[in-house]
Amino acid sequence: MVVGRQGALGLKARSMMRQRFHLRRVFVLTRGTSLRRRVAYSLAIVRLILVPVILLTIYYLFAMGVIVDRIVRVDATVAMQAERASIQMLDARRAEHDYLLLQDPAALEQARRALDGLKKTAESCQRLEPSEATTTSALLADIHFYREGMNRVATKLKHGGAPLNQVQRVVQDYERNLNGLLARAGHLSRAQLLQQLHEQTRTFDAGIAAAGAQDPVVENLAQEMDNTSDSVMALSTGLEERSWERVERDHHRALNLFHRAEWVVGIISGLTLLVSIWVSFVLPREVVRPLLELKDAVDHAAAGNYEIEFDLQGKGEVVELAKSVRELIAHVREKKQEGDPSPPKANTTQD
């Protein structure tokens, strides 16, 4: 009876020892793809975080580049070309007046060269700024009309000359008016003096042109050419002003876009930094967690707890390693059970 009780106590103690070492089941979760792919996905996510910042930076740089390119290549160029057109028209007009006065073929050729350059300038403005097609078309039409009028004047004056006495009278009138203006200069402001000088110069040009014309037909043509040149000057001046206005407007657009880029890229960069910090904590844990769970299972087996179950899901290196560890633990458990002595049988013999 005593032996039976001792055997029962031994079995109970052994059962308690087993329960002591019997821990909870360990699950090694390896969902998804292999560890190599998990690492690759993690690195890809880390790189993709920077994509919004890079794309936004490229977008704003491209947008500002387009605006700056338009300012340099179109608006500012058209403005300078329009200013050049005004100068070329003045050169052609001066050469035309010289031809009316002196009938010098060199002056006529100079006027034609100025008109050729003016035509090229207007065509360049037409190509660069299609929205100003109405202005540039009118400018080209006036240039053509001015050239035709100059050719007709040249034909009329081919065999004639300007009367010298009429030219002398115009010069004497101009000199007398200029002396009178200089005598009154002390009582005039600077703006008034410049204005009267401009008026007298214009009167002198008109008188010289009339003196050189001497023919009513030529005089009418000269007047029409002067009106046409005034139209060309007005058109080129208006084109220049509108072009500079576009330059100013595009400049403000570029500044606004730059300030917007500062805010947007700054905010996106801050959010990207926060997301990258969060990812730096989450992704390594997702990658390393299967290995840690597998290590936990091995530690339990090393502590003597062989009652471990593996929940293997997915595929990859970790799953293969978990299968090997499971087989190893099962083999050790079998060897351990074979090596344990069988429990003694209870002696029921009564004295």
Could you report the per-residue pLDDT of 54-104, keeping only the tens digit for each?
888 888 888 888 888 888 889 999 999 999 998 999 898 888 877 776 777
Cα 75 from Cα 81, distance rounded (Å): 10
Residue (of 21, 24, 26) closest to 293 by Cα position: 26
Residue pLDDT, tens place only, 116-174 = 999 999 999 999 999 999 999 999 999 999 999 888 888 877 755 545 556 666 767 77
Is-contact 67 257, C-beta < 8 A?
yes
Q: What is the mean pLDDT of the chain?
A: 76
Q: What percent of the chain has pLDDT over 70?
A: 70
Sequence-separated (6 or more) residues with CB below 8 Å from residue 66: none
**Residue 249 — very low, low, confident or very high, per pLDDT cuts 50/70/90?**
very high
Q: What percent of the chain has pLDDT over 90?
A: 17
- Tell me the Cα Rg of the chain: 50
Range 103-112 average pLDDT: 85
**Residue 16 — very low, low, confident or very high, per pLDDT cuts 50/70/90?**
very low
- 100, exposed or middle or buried, with CB in 10 Å at 0-12, 13-18, 19+? buried
The predicted structure's pLDDT at residue 145: 92
The predicted structure's pLDDT at residue 199: 79
Question: Does residue 349 carry a pLDDT above 60?
Answer: no
The predicted structure's pLDDT at residue 21: 42
Q: What is the DSSP letter of 189?
A: -
The predicted structure's pLDDT at residue 2: 41
The predicted structure's pLDDT at residue 120: 94
Q: Give the pair of three-digit tokens for residue 99.
A: 């031809």
Question: Does residue 4 carry a pLDDT above 70?
Answer: no
Higher pLDDT, 260 or 209: 260
The predicted structure's pLDDT at residue 340: 60
Q: CA angle, 104 as apex, 99 and 110 as ends, to 5°? A: 70
The CA–CA distances, whole Å, from 54 to 48, 169, 214, 269 equal 10, 77, 75, 10
Q: pTM of the predicted model, to two decimals?
A: 0.57
Lowest mean pLDDT among 14-28, 57-71, 207-221: 14-28
Lowest mean pLDDT among 15-19, 218-222, 268-272: 15-19
Higher pLDDT, 320 or 80: 80
Residue (of 186, 157, 183) closest to 97 by Cα position: 157
**Residue 191 — very low, low, confident or very high, per pLDDT cuts 50/70/90?**
confident
